[in-house]
């Protein structure tokens, strides 16, 4: 129930909730963006969770709204997905598209069968603006300029992440550090990063532009991130935003289905305990860092339909190799495949100790 006390807890005046719930097609500064996210949470408290991953260099909150059946915590078998926009402050279309996507999803929940099943089948985190300071310096219209592209310190945030192929100065900005912590804490499976200035989609690896967030997601976060350039003009007039929303909404919705490609499951010992940090390897798909199981013994591997050879390895356990035939996703879920590992001639306690020592040095 939406109560006055709940509104006060979010610092949200009642008059703000009383106005039209329809988000206008215009640009929303940091204050309006925050009010909108808080209003959406207040209006949909059972399927949303609002949190901050940190503050920008200019001390602006980096708000994330989660949408899901259980938005507060991870549920085993439910993939974590994220949409991030406005990494470059002057690339403003993605910022507004994400806000409208939030409204669209929440209004459709319980009314539209596909949207309801999508929301129930994942935990979607939406960060509308990673660079609010840059956005505050940018202006419209500006299709090709660079004013506001960087953060308050003049740093390009999409060239500021550790890079597996290039030297790194080791000095991440506040926004970069916040996103790095976020990526390492949530075990994301799939991600979209929205940019502007072209109509392009790119995927890892992205070394022609060292220090990108996309490769950091893939190498260190076990997350497939796709970068989408959604508008030829970086910061068009506000009256053009509805057209960009209409053009991009179907793709943003369809992309959510890709979180259910491939296979998911648990790696367990013969007593049903989670094997933490086990390598989940797929033949002919070598990664710079292996995909590992989480603290729940859980794994996700995004794969197209086909036949794959899996090898599961963990200290203290015998390696297990198994062939799996993957089909198209059904019922808004990847194929479920659990693996049971046998102890490598050791008792349960010794195997767990070996696994812990391997993970913690």
Helical segments of the chain, H only: 4-9, 14-18, 30-43, 93-108, 113-120, 132-137, 174-186, 213-221, 241-256, 348-360
Whats the size of the chain, residue-wise? Answer: 361
Contact 163, 134 (CB under 8 A): no
CA angle at 95 for the pair 214 and 61, rounded to the nearest 5°? 85
Q: Which helix (DSSP H) or strand (DSSP E) does residue 267 occupy?
A: strand 263-269
CA angle at 208 for the pair 207 and 213, rounded to the nearest 5°? 50
Sheet holding 306-313, edge to edge: 279-282, 306-313, 320-326
Task: Spell out a b/e string for 318-352, using b for 16 or more CB atoms within 10 Å of the CB, else e.
Answer: eebeeebebeebeebebbebebebebeeeeeeebb
Contact 136, 89 (CB under 8 A): yes
3-state class (DSSP) for residue 67:
strand
Q: What is the spatial distance between Cα 7 and Cα 21, in angstroms, rounded to a whole number? A: 15
Contact 232, 174 (CB under 8 A): no
332: left (phi over 0), alpha (psi -120 to 50) or beta: left
Half-sphere exposure of 358 (CA within 13 A, CB side): 17
- DSSP sequence for 301-340: E---SEEEEEEEE-TTB--EEEEEEE-S--SS-PEE--EE
Q: Please count the other Cβ atoms lying within 10 Å of the Cβ belonging to residue 284.
A: 6
Which residues carry out catalysis?
229
DSSP 342: P
């Amino acid at each position: 129930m939406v109560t006055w006390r709940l509104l006060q807890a979010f610092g949200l005046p009642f008059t703000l909730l009383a106005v039209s719930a329809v988000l206008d097609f215009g640009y929303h500064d940091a204050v309006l963006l925050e009010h909108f996210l808080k209003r959406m949470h207040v209006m949909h408290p059972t399927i949303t969770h609002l949190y901050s991953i940190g503050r920008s260099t200019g001390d602006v909150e980096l708000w994330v709204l989660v949408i899901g059946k259980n938005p507060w915590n991870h549920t085993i078998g439910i993939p974590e997905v994220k949409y991030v926009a406005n990494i470059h402050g002057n690339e403003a279309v993605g910022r507004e598209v994400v806000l409208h996507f939030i409204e669209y999803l929440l209004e459709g929940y319980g009314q539209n069968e596909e949207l309801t099943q999508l929301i129930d089948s994942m935990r979607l985190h939406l960060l509308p603006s990673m660079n609010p300071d840059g956005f505050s310096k940018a202006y419209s219209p500006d299709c090709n300029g660079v004013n506001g592209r960087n953060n308050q310190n003049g740093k390009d945030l999409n060239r500021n992440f550790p890079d597996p192929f290039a030297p790194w100065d080791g000095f991440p900005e506040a926004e970069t550090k916040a996103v790095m912590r976020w990526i390492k804490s949530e075990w994301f499976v799939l991600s979209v990063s929205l940019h502007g200035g072209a109509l392009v989609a790119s995927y890892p690896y992205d070394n022609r532009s060292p220090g990108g967030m996309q490769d950091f997601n893939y190498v260190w976060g076990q997350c497939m991130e796709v970068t989408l350039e959604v508008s030829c003009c970086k910061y068009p007039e506000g009256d053009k935003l509805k057209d960009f929303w209409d053009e991009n909404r179907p793709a943003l919705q369809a992309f959510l289905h890709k979180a259910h490609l491939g296979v998911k499951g648990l790696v367990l010992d013969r007593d049903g305990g989670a094997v933490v940090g086990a390598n989940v390897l797929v033949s002919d798909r070598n990664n710079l860092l292996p995909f590992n199981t989480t603290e729940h013994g859980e794994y996700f591997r995004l794969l197209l339909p086909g036949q794959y050879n899996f090898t599961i390895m963990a200290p203290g356990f015998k390696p297990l190799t198994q062939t799996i035939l993957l089909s198209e996703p059904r019922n808004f879920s990847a194929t479920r495949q659990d693996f049971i590992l046998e102890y490598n001639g050791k008792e349960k306690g010794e195997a767990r100790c070996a696994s812990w020592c391997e993970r913690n040095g």
